Amino acid sequence: MEKDHHLAPMLSAIERIKADIKEYHPKALLLFGSLARRLAGDPGDHLPNDVDLLVVTNNTPFLVMNKEYGCAVELHSFPVARIVNIAKSLRYDSRPVALSKLYGRVLAKEHAIDVIAAAMMLGPAYGDVGIEQIEINGIIDTRDYSIHRVLMGGGWWARLCRYAVERRGPLMRFTDKMVRNYDFAE
C-alpha cells in the first residue's frame, strides 16, 4: 500500500504533463528511468524518486519544464533532428564512431541522456552495439536503460526504433543516399 501511495503523485503528474505537452506537438513522449522500470515489473532496490521523461519536439516546452507537478520531474527535450541523428548514427556509423558521438555528449553535457535514448531505441540488446553500462560514482550501474514506456507518439517512435536497429554500416550509407533511402521518413 505504501508503494501505491508513493507512486500516485507521479502517475498523476504524468497525466497532467501529457495534457500540458500536447500544445507543443511532440513526435514522442517517453517515460524512462526507475519509474518506467517499476511499472514494467522491476522493483529495483528503491522506490522511484522522480519522473524521468524525454520529449521529442521542435517546440521546447519551457512552460512544462518550469511547472510544478507535485513531484520531482526531469524533462529532457530533444529536437526531432537530434534524436533522428542518434538513430542515423546507430544505423550508419561504424560502432566506434557512433559510440564516440554518444559518449562525447555525455562529457559535454554531464548527463547520459543521449546514451539512454540510444539504449531505448535499440532495446535490451543495446550492449551488442557496444553501449556500456553507465557508471555512478565509479560503480557500474546494472539497471536496464532500454526499459521505457511510450506515453505519446507510439507509431512514430516504433518507426524510428526500427530505423535505428537496422544496421546498414558506413558502406551502405553511400548507396542509400544514391537511391534516396537514407533519411528517416518522419
pLDDT-derived band at 3 (thresholds 50, 70, 90) equals: low
In a domain, 184, yes or no: no
| Number of domains composing the chain | 1
Q: Does residue 185 belong to any structural domain of this protein?
A: no
Q: Looking up cell 552495439, which residue turns up?
A: 129
pLDDT one-digit tens code per residue, 84-125: 999 999 999 988 999 988 888 777 666 789 999 999 999 998
Q: How far apart are CA 186 and CA 165, in angstroms?
A: 16
**The domain containing residue 105 runs over which residues?**
2-178
Of the listed ranges 7-11, 17-21, 132-136, the least confidently predicted one is 132-136
**186 in a structural domain:** no
Chain mean position to CA 15: 19
Residue with the three cell numbers 517512435: 157
- Per the domain annotation, does 151 fall within a domain? yes
